[in-house]
A and B are shown apart, each in its own frame.
Chain A
Amino acid sequence: GESVGLHLPTLSVQEGDNSIINCAYSNSASDYFIWYKQESGKGPQFIIDIRSNMDKRQGQRVTVLLNKTVKHLSLQIAATQPGDSAVYFCAENTGGFKTIFGAGTRLFVKA
């Protein structure tokens, strides 16, 4: 069945280091992928997205990589800051309304 999963439930990084959060998806028909950030007490917020015709997209301090061959998605955060501490979700959809969310990875940033 369709699923979007994350390799690690928690990730701890030192402030200033780069963070990499991974995600696996199983629906080869998915053509749009999104990363959301959820801070404590708040709803998920859009970080960055990527379409299936791309393999890399960069934002401010964040980069998303898509490997369709192995159905893998990753979020890279450069120079991780305390404010980056949150739960990060990957999500996929097939161009319609239906979005499938992963369980999330909690990122801890150590000062």
Chain B
Amino acid sequence: DADVTQTPRNRITKTGKRIMLECSQTKGHDRMYWYRQDPGLGLRLIYYSFDVKDINKGEISDGYSVSRQAQAKFSLSLESAIPNQTALYFCATSDWRRAYNEQFFGPGTRLTVL
């Protein structure tokens, strides 16, 4: 199922480096999200976007930024990566026309910051 794709799938980087994670979707959904997943914790929302150029902070936005230049793409940046940003990152989409918020997830990006 390639409706939501993420690149890269794995990335190892060093402290202080700038990293960009990309998300693309072919579902035609207007809403897109970035989450991080840590062992033993649920998915935590970093940023979300309801439309092109609409950006909203989630619960853990510090140290991250996002860009939504097109409906199908939502990128997440770590301006200066630090080790505690080592995690699994997921992009998700949803359709505003649905009253309830079923989200569709990408395969994830495993990021390691040394």
Instruction: Please list the residues of chain A having a beta carbon within 8 angstroms of any beta carbon in chain B.
Output: 4, 9, 32, 34, 36, 41-46, 49, 51, 89, 93, 95-104
Task: Say yes or no: is B105 at the interface (Cβ < 8 Å to chain A).
Answer: yes
Give the interface residue-count category, chain B. Answer: 20 to 34
Considering the complex, give the chain B residue whose CB is closest to the CB of A101. B42
Is B31 touching A97 in the complex (CB atoms < 8 A)? Answer: yes
Instruction: Please list the residues of chain B having a beta carbon within 8 angstroms of any beta carbon in chain A.
Output: 4, 31, 40-45, 48, 50, 90, 92, 94, 99-108
Q: Given the known A-B contacts A103-B42, A104-B42, are A42 and B107 also in contact in the complex, defined by CB atoms under 8 Å?
A: yes
The answer, among A32, A46, A97, for a CB contact under 8 Å with B104, is: A46
CB-CB under 8 A from A36, the residues of chain B are: 105
Is A96 touching B4 in the complex (CB atoms < 8 A)? Answer: no
- List 17 interface pairs A-B (beta carbons < 8 Å), by A numbering: A32-B101, A36-B105, A41-B107, A42-B107, A42-B108, A43-B106, A46-B103, A46-B104, A49-B100, A49-B102, A89-B42, A93-B100, A95-B100, A97-B48, A97-B50, A99-B103, A101-B42
